[in-house]
Each structure stands twice: as structure tokens, then as C-alpha cells.
Amino acid sequence: MCGIWALFGSDECLSVQCLSAMKIAHRGPDAFRFENVNGFTNCCFGFHRLAVVDQLYGMQPIRVKKFPYLWLCYNGEIYNFKQLQKQFGFEYQTLVDGEVILHLYDRGGIEQTASMLDGVFAFILLDTANRKVFLGRDTYGVRPLFKVLTNDGFLGVCSEAKGLINLKHSTSLCSKVEPFLPGHYEVLDLKPSGKVASVELVKFHSYKDEPLHVVCDTVETLPSGFDLETVKSNIRVLFENAVRKRLMAHRRIGCLLSGGLDSSLVAAILLKLMKEMNISYPLQTFAIGMENSPDLVAARKVAAHIGSEHHEVIFNSEEGIQAIEDVIFSLETYDITTIRASVGMYLVSKYIRKKTDSVVIFSGEGSDELTQGYIYFHKAPSPEEAAEESERLLKELYLFDVLRADRTTAAHGLELRVPFLDHRFTSYYLSLPAELRIPKNGIEKYLLRLSFEDSNLLPKEILWRPKEAFSDGVASVKKSWFSILQDYIDQQVDDLLLEKAAEKYPFNPPKTKESYYYRQLFEKHYSGRSSWLPHYWMPRWVQATDPSARTLKHYKSASQE
């Protein structure tokens, strides 16, 4: 996890512009480099490093003797860099996994490069010999990337939008800053002036398609067919493989643990594999919640069962409310449920950075979207519509849960690993018949739970624990986190302000005081950038007016059982 930043064709003094690069310093607390491009005085790279792999030669932009005309700045992890080396006979000059991008590009061009990378990544690749700039981002956008391109060819690229919004340019303060689409690469021509022109934007991978890099995966061909035992076995094999490949790190590994199915499965398999690999330190797991919250109680059970070194972070409503503005600044969104769910993750990440030496943090993001874990999936009109909704959610992950997971951890210099979004695992799960993937017997994620039922990885009551309502597992049973927030905000926003909300904010107008309050804080830091959020996250098929599952009829908390 690092922060990348680059400018091409800047009219302004680069020493002034590079102040913008410091806005993402939190992403790489270990080192910083700012480097001009030879022969292009108005082009430069900025890089903030979190040293996780190859502590000696990991600074960027990466340049190697074999390709003196290539410059690479990337954020992410390429899990199959050793397999690719073996497959194609690459001779690496460093231990940095991202070096493989240079070798793949030299061998087969940008399309093959992007398609053969098994991992999470956002990259800027400059080829001065052929005068090209390439941008690329992984399938689900696990690693963030933003860009701004003016009409006269000034290009700015950054891990977070906050590193671009204050750039100076002769034609304007700044054109439209927008997220770079996941699963795409872009080709741009580099002119002698240092300015660029976009040539094409290409979608290189659709999450439903088996990725091209399967040819050099460590798991061989899987048994085919959709009989239940085969499917369950394949799910176990692929998910364990997804966790195993993510163990690549020279820094300590930890795991977020809410006590829900997803993070519990990740933690249990992670600990099992760490023992098999004789990793010398114990696995630290981290749970956050208010006193006696459902998540804390459940996480305690899981930690005791798997034998992790467990940490509990207890926060009160005042601490949660005080963090909201910092959370919105980090997130760069005003989405209601994203902000609610981010507070706990932001505070636990702060604890991990201050009180422990864990840096590489595993988490359960992506499972709800992939395995139909949201409570409203019980109301899906048909298996086919449920499958379509699952795919829509995966496509938009970079706007919601993946955005939350990246920004809240990156704000504190941590690196996130999300095995549920492994390319091979997700493409296999999505290839299964729609009727196999829907909730059954009133239980969401039924197939995933069933696949691990005989594994003894988790206590039965955790394996079959119902979905908690978004961020509400962190709150006490008596009063949900969203109720606490609404009670506080009710005093902060006047009724008259809410009545005139649509006039003040015509795009995505706030419908509640809570929504209005978040929008105000967002506009304070990112005025006029409301288009970064195309729409609010809301459940489907249930006529919901609030994104919390506790407002849905199907929701059944432990206190009601």
C-alpha cells in the first residue's frame, strides 16, 4: 500500500504543484520521493512508500537497467510475480513484485500486462522511447486511482482525489477530477511538450470471466460440474488459495475480526496457513465496538476458537461522533452507509497503527456482494435478478465498501488484503447456477456457509450467525449506531435547512438530517465534487428509505431471538 502521484504537461512550477502530492503522505509513512522525468521538465512522479516487500530496493518510480526508457509508479501487490518469472524466464533486478509490470510490458504490450497480473494494483507506466503513458487499475478497484485531464492535455494522476483538487493550471484551477474505472487501462500519447492526448480506454477484465493469469496459478485445473460436493470443495480450495497467496509480506500480518462470517473465515484460514508456513509470530486479530456490542462478543468466541492474539477496541458514541469529519475527509464521499460503517474501521485502524506492529491487514470485504449476503437478497424476485444485483454491487464496490476499506486503513498507513475479491475465486463463484447462490431457509450466504460446515474452522454458531446490519454490530443491542448518529445530528441540522436541501444540493439532494450533515462536511473539503458519488447506496426490492438493515422487516437481531 503506497501513494502514487504524477503530472504530465504542468504549466506551473513543479515545486509548487508537488505540495499537492503531500496530501496523500498518510498512504506511505516510510519514505517519499519526488522525481522529474529526463527530457520533460514539466513531467514528474511523486511516491509515498509503505515498505512491505523488498525494503532495500522498493522505492519508486521503479527503473531498471534493462529498460532505461520505462518509468513505473504503482500501488498494490502482484501475487503471481514469481510464477510469471518462471513462466516467461524474466530476470528481475529487485525483489519488488511490481517489477514484473516492466517485463510483461516489454514482452507483450499493455493489454497482456494488465490481463496477466493476479493482484490488486493501480499503476502509471511511462514509456519515453515510444512516447506513451499508460494507466491501469485492478478488476474491483481495490487500489484507488483518480485522474484529471484538461482540454489542452495536462494530466494529473493520484491515489486519492485530494492530491489533485488543488493543482494549478493556466486554463483553470482544475478540470474534473474523477475516479479511474476498475478493470480498465488507458493509453495516452506523450507529446514533446509533455502534454498528453488520450488514445483509448480499454476494459481488460470482466469479473465474470476466468482471468488469463489462471495459466500460471498455483491451483491446477478444478473438477468441473455443479453437483454440490464438487462445488463446495472447489469453493474451499479456491478461497484457501486466495488467502495463501496474500501472505506475501515482509511486515507483520494482522486481521480485522467482527465475529461475522466473512472476517471469521478469513481469520481462521489465515491462522491455519500461518502455522503451516511456520510464521514465527502469533496472528493479531482486532475487533471494535461499543461496550458489549454483538460484534465484540462474537469476535471473542472466534478468537478463542482459532487461538489468535486478540485485541478489543472499545469506543463510545462521543468518540465515534468526533471522528466523523476526519472520516469524511479520508473517504472523499458523502454516502450515508459508507460513512456509518467507516467510523469503526477508521478507529480500529488508528489503534492498530499506534499500539501494534501489524501493518498488513486482512479483511472480509467483497463477500456480501459476491455471495449475496445483504439482508434484502431475501426479497429478490428471482435467482436471476439476485445474480444481476450481485454483479451490479461488485461493479460498484470501488464507490462503496472497497473505498471504505482502503481509505480507513490507508489513513493510518496500513495495507489492506481482501481475499474474497480474488479474481479466480470470484469468477468461479459467479459461474455457478443462479439458484445455487441465493439465500436458503431464511439464511443468506447459504452456499458459502455450507461449503465450510465440515471444516471445523469455526464454531457452528459463528458459521451460521445471521448478517449484522452494516455498521450496527459495533453498537449496543439496545441502541444501534445509526440511531445514535441520528439523535446527535437531529440537534445539529435545522428543519428549515433540510426543507431547502434540494435547492442547495440539486445533485443527490439529502433527504434526511443525517444525510444533510454528511453533505455539509463533504462540501467543506470537496466543494462542487458531488458527482464522485453517482447515487446513494440503498437496498433493492424493499422500498427502503434508510440503508440500515435494522430498518428492514426481515432483520432479526440477537436481542429479538
- Kindly list the domain boundaries of the chain, sorted by start residue: 3-203, 224-491
Q: What is the pLDDT of residues 331-353, one digit of tens each?
A: 999 999 999 999 999 999 999 99
How wide is the angle at C-alpha 436 spanned by C-alphas 435 and 440, nearest 5°?
85
Q: What is the pLDDT of residues 71-81, one digit of tens each?
A: 999 999 999 99
Within 8 A by CB and 6+ apart from 423, the residues are 118, 139, 205, 207, 211, 213
Q: What is the mean pLDDT of the chain?
A: 92
Q: What is the pLDDT of residues 133-145, one digit of tens each?
A: 999 999 999 999 9
Which CATH number does the domain 224-491 belong to among 1.20.1050.10, 3.40.80.10, 3.40.50.720, 3.40.50.620?
3.40.50.620
255 is a catalytic site residue? no
* 411 has pLDDT over 80: yes
CATH topology of domain 3-203: Glutamine Phosphoribosylpyrophosphate, subunit 1, domain 1 (3.60.20)
Q: Do 444 and 373 touch, CB atoms closer than 8 A?
A: yes
Within 8 A by CB and 6+ apart from 50, the residues are 1, 2, 27, 28, 29, 30, 359, 413, 415
C-alpha pair distances (Å), 210 with each of 225, 257, 435, 542: 16, 30, 20, 33
Is the torsion defined by CA of 265, 268, 272, 277 positive or negative? positive
Instruction: Give the percent of the chain with pLDDT over 90.
Output: 77
The pLDDT score that the predictor gives to residue 60 is 84
* 557 has pLDDT over 50: no
The pLDDT score that the predictor gives to residue 57 is 64
Q: Mapping DSSP to helix (H, G, I), strand (E, B) and coil, where does residue 158 land?
A: strand
Q: Mapping DSSP to helix (H, G, I), strand (E, B) and coil, where does residue 9 land?
A: coil
Is 97 known to sit in a ligand binding site? yes
Is 20 known to sit in a ligand binding site? no
Is 170 known to sit in a ligand binding site? no
Residue recorded with cell 435494522: 550
The pLDDT score that the predictor gives to residue 472 is 60
The pLDDT score that the predictor gives to residue 338 is 96
C-alpha pair distances (Å), 468 with each of 115, 256, 368, 394, 477: 36, 16, 11, 20, 11
The pLDDT score that the predictor gives to residue 330 is 98
Q: What is the pLDDT of residues 81-109, one digit of tens each?
A: 999 999 999 999 988 999 999 999 999 99
Q: Give 30-91 as a 3 state SS string.
A: CEEEEEEECCEEEEEEEEEECCCCCCCCCCCCEEECCEEEEEEEEEEEECCHHHHHHHHCCC
Catalytic residue (choose from 2, 44, 73, 158): 2
What are 362's strand-pairing partners? 255, 417
- Label residue 423 by pLDDT band (50, 70, 90): very high
Which amino acid belongs to residue 393? L
Q: Across residues 32-46, what is the average pLDDT?
A: 87
How distant is the alpha carbon of residue 102 from its chain centre?
24
Is 288 known to sit in a ligand binding site? yes
Q: Identify which of 8-22, 30-44, 397-411 has the greatest average pLDDT.
A: 397-411
Residue 69 phi/psi, 5° resolution? -90, 0
Q: Do 259 and 473 touch, CB atoms closer than 8 A?
A: yes
* 51 has pLDDT over 60: yes
